[in-house]
Structure 1
Amino acid sequence: MRSLDTTARNPNSIDVWTALKGENDMSNTPRTKFRMNARSIALMATAALVAVGATACSSADEPQDEGPVELTFQVWGDTGIAEKQWESYAEAFPEEAEGVTMNVVSAGDNDGDAMQKLRLQLASGEDVPDIVQLNYSALPEFAESGVLTDVKPYVEDYLGNVTAAADTLMQYKDQYLAIPYEVKEKLWFYRTDLFEQAGIDVTQVKTQDDFIEAGEKLKAVAPNSSIWNIGPNPPEYVWAQIVSGNGARYSQQEPCEFVIAGDEGTADAFRAMKELRESGVVNTTFDDFSPEWQAALADGTVASVPIASWFPQFLQSYAPDLAGKWAVTTWPEIGGAVDGAGSGSGGSIFVIPTASEHPEEAAEFLAKSMMTKEGSLAFATANPGYLPNVPDALNDPSILENEYFGTSLVDAFIAAADTYEIFPYDPASLKTTQVLQEQMVAYLASDEEDPASFLQAAQDELTAQVGCPYTS
């Protein structure tokens, strides 16, 4: 993920002049320049919107023309999936879609870009979209700033349709501020043929020690194959999945401070990563999303991947000829996450800014496409590999009987819901993750077994740059 500026100031701050002018350099023209943090920008934007609303009240009694509604839908990465979501919705619910058009725009390459773009839009008060895709890990920053619509009045009739995990994903501090897109449960993907040859019964792999022992069995029959890959610079989501379910936390609100240095769950995740890398059963030469990784998933060099439920489409594209040879189960305990508890960033969500001009239409589109059987099946048909949030849809034969994974994908997804947890993110979580990622890489490259000094370094840096994560 990209940071706006991580040098000697609040990492969530942006140069408001630059944000409004769209510039990244400093001209020689004298001007007043000031800095505000993301929370202050969001509050400023909210105040401005209230003022605009007050001004408009004088004409509230005048008849208003009800013309066509154009919704702006902001996602990260390729806009094609969101466009398919709208197309499938319009086909499934033609009456609701009548008179509504959808403008899908990309905020950038990843969820970090999506956060940055939304901050800039809130700061300027311009081009604020009706719908924004975020990861749940980004939700606290905007929720604490009060710039997100409470969607419960719009979607209350649909809440009974979704899984308990999806219902959890919608909430922050007991307020419904999001519509669930992808509930990212922790799933373990493995090669059935190689595991069978090695005599590995995944139902008996319960602990991290069991996992390493299974890796040794795999090596005994397939020396070039590894049970996982953890390279020299593992993506943050690898270890973040561990801390999501092992009781870790990075901060506390009262008193407001970072607690990383003394947090046992974070230390357990660091130790687990090093133990696995040094076990001899994990490939340590390449990281996820490298060309080597993609090839290894296809040729058996990597025979299993504990990851999250967003992975099926990637695996099928990397190893299209291995349908029926990959299956799915739940995670074992790794790094203290009992029964594989946790999630991958909670999941991907949609939020509706309070600045949206069409919150009702936006919520109706999201609720009916993501929170009904008809809508979620229509989207899954257009976007194969998507796992709906609706139990009735999950049990539909078109979803349950996956051509690549058989029934194991949905079976594991349903089972993982029992241990689904969301990490206690705070408004500074993006910066915290960046700092911890740097310390994780340094720790893995070191000869030290105890991660204490690396966690202390992370806490010191965050305390100096952020201070209180809830008021930064």
Structure 2
Amino acid sequence: MKFTMKKAVAFVGAAAMLVPLAACGNSSSSTAGDSSSSDKTINLTVWSWDSTLPRTVEGFEKANPNIKVKVTNAGTNKDEYTALSNAIEAGSGAPDLAQIEYYALPEYIIRGNLENIGDLGASDFSDFYTPGTWASVHVNDGVWALPMDSGPMAWFYNKDVFDKAGVDPTQVKTWDDFYEAAKKVRATGSYITSDSGDAGFFDSMTWLAGASPFKTSSDGKTVSINLTSDDKVESFIDFWQKMISEDLIDTKTVGWSDDWNKGLNDGSIASLLTGAWMPYNLLSGAPDGDGKWRITQMPTADGSATNSENGGSSLAVIKSDDKAKVEAAYKFAEYACHNAEGIKTRVDGGAFPADNDTLKSDDFLSMTSLTDSDGNAHEYFGGQKFNEELAKAAANVSTGYSFLPFEVYARGKFGDFVSNAYTGKGKLSDGIAAWEKDLKSYAENQGYTVK
């Protein structure tokens, strides 16, 4: 289904449509043009829902004729993680590589399910990737995956609606500014944005605020969960509660629903605070917005030039005793995520890059149009060099935020505790406190020492 595909792409920070982008890279990879020294055929299985990854197989197999790669869609995010965890626990059926979002990666690192590919050469890649994506895969002196793509937060807005409200988003720097702008937008009949209780959005916004509610010890045995005692978390809760209480955001329309796309299309939802993978989803989901939308930097709590990630995923090598398979799997990961040819193939397919070379490419930065599935070009952002703004957003991502080693569980439970706040039956602070209590209880039941 078309909607399912768009939703899946959004989670990984990639594009829903095919679009020719130019990318460059100066990777010193030996993968391209360097086939394996062994004549024995090695068959690799890769689990990934990303539509751009299969496009790299042809080039990789041409350079490595004795390595055959099969990419299988085992489900999107949580569905894949459930299947992956079950297969690893059963001791059979797990793939050789898996696409894992940055928020879910710590869970597999702590469990010892992934190969430390830093020992295979990835430790030399620190300057190749953006700080935020590298920090997500480089944990406890190990490199546990390679960044596939990224999702730096940005503010996407319908200029026509904001012009009607008399607001210039490029001059909205703080959350107080955003609140004042929201009142003016609401007076036009539109909402400045929507949120019906999204855990990923909550993480991104508290990260943006400079919060650090979650920490895990280097040995993986102790977790700190301090949502209610982190003043930066509290600052976002207070801000967002005010927005909810004064009916300044649409809390009824669920993200990625048909009604949500309709709201973006007709301007009743006037903007989004979301990841850099959004352009092509807007093109397909809100076609009437063509030429009306623009992109600017995120408003922050104090107006400082900082940012966070929303979405994005990595490619990890699953732990194995088969050394030849591990080395072959790493070769594929390196080709798809670090080699210039592999990255160009994926970016040409619509992935938002995680590497600095592409983000600095003149061709990438000078783009003003999006190409739809029929090959038609659209200046959806009114001729703006939109990748320039998104590249700036990527460069501003801070690196101090940590996810829980059971973040998949945590996000799955978020809505259970905060839903009343979004329907006017409770307070967001109470919901977050209840969520914190549940997370601590879950951690203790899983054998963690909780602080």
Instruction: Using structure 1 for the length normalisation, give the TM-score.
Output: 0.75
The equivalent residue for 1:45 is none
Q: Say which structure, 1 or 2, has more relative contact order (CA 8 Å, 6+ apart).
A: 2
Q: Quote the Cα distance in structure 1 between the aligned partners of 2:169 and 2:424.
A: 32
Equivalence for 2:414 = 436
Aligned to 1:54: none
Q: Which residue is 1:151 aligned to?
A: 117
Q: Which stretch of the first structure deviates more once superposed, 99-108 or 295-304?
A: 99-108
Paired AA for residue 206 in structure 2? V
Corresponding residue number in structure 1 for 2:440: 463
For residues 197-346 of structure 1, what are the structure 2 equivalents within 5 Å? 197-220=164-187, 223-231=188-196, 234-246=197-209, 247-250=211-214, 253=217, 256=223, 258-334=225-301, 339=305, 341-345=307-311
Deviations 1:27-73 (A, max 9, x none): xxxxxxxxxxxxxxxxxxxxxxxxxxxxxxxxxxxxx9732222111
In the alignment, structure 2 segments of 5+ residues that lack a partner are 1-36, 370-379
In the alignment, the residues of structure 1 paired with residue 222 and residue 331 of structure 2 have an alpha-carbon distance, to the nearest angstrom, of 40
Contact preservation (8 Å) 1:244, 1:344: no
CA gap 1:402/1:73 in 2 versus in 1, 3 angstroms = farther
Question: What residue is the counterpart of 1:349 in the other structure?
Answer: 314
Between Structure 1 and Structure 2, whose CA radius of gyration is higher?
Answer: 1
Q: Name the structure 1 match of 2:372.
A: none
**Equivalent pair of 1:212/1:279 in contact (CA under 8 Å):** no
Structure 2 counterpart SS, 1:119 = helix
Cα distance between partner residues in 1 of 2:157 and 2:321: 44
The answer (yes or no) to whether the contact 1:371–1:389 under 8 Å persists in 2 is no
Q: Aligned equivalents of 1:398 and 1:98: distance in 2? A: 32
TM-score after normalising by structure 2: 0.78
Structure with the largest fraction of helix? 1
Determine whether 1:84 maps to 2:29: no
Q: Deviations along 1:232-269, whole A, 9 cap, x unmatched? A: xx222222211223314145648655433433333333
Contact 1:258 1:469 in 2 (8 A): no
Gapped runs of 5+ residues in structure 1? Answer: 1-63
What is the letter of the counterpart of residue 185 of structure 2? L
User: In percent, how many aligned pairs have the same letter?
Assistant: 22
Query: Shift of residue 300 of structure 1?
Result: 1.2
Provide the residue aligned with 1:165 in structure 2.
Answer: 132
1:399 aligns with 2:364: yes
User: CA offset at residue 470 of structure 1?
Assistant: 6.9
| AA in 1 matched with 2:47 | Q
2:101 aligns with 135
Name whichever of 204-213 and 362-371 sits farther off.
362-371
C-alpha separation in 2, matches of 1:340 and 1:274:
22
* Mapped partners of 2:384, 2:141: distance in 1: 34
Taking only aligned residues, the RMSD between alpha carbons, in angstroms, comes to 2.9
- Evaluate the alpha carbon distance shift between residue 206 and residue 342 of structure 1 in structure 2; reply closer, same or farther with a 3 A threshold: same
- How far apart are residue 158 of structure 1 and its match? 4.7
Counterparts of 2:347 and 2:356, CA distance in 1: 14
Comparing 392-401 and 180-189, the one that deviates more: 392-401
Shift of 1:128: 2.0
- 2:7 aligns to what? none
Superposed CA deviations along residues 202-258 of structure 1, whole A, max 9, x for unmatched, are 2321111211222233345xx232211123xx2222222112233141456486554
CA distance in 1, matches of 2:61, 2:113: 31
1:396 Cα deviation after fit: 3.4
Other structure's SS at 1:435 match:
helix
8 Å CA contact 1:329, 1:408 repeated in 2: no
CA distance in 1, matches of 2:338, 2:439: 38
Query: Counterparts of 2:288 and 2:256 in 1: how far apart (Å)?
Result: 19
Q: CA deviation at 1:288?
A: 0.8
Given residue 192 of structure 2, which amino acid in structure 1 is its aligned partner?
I
- Residue equivalent to 2:47: 74
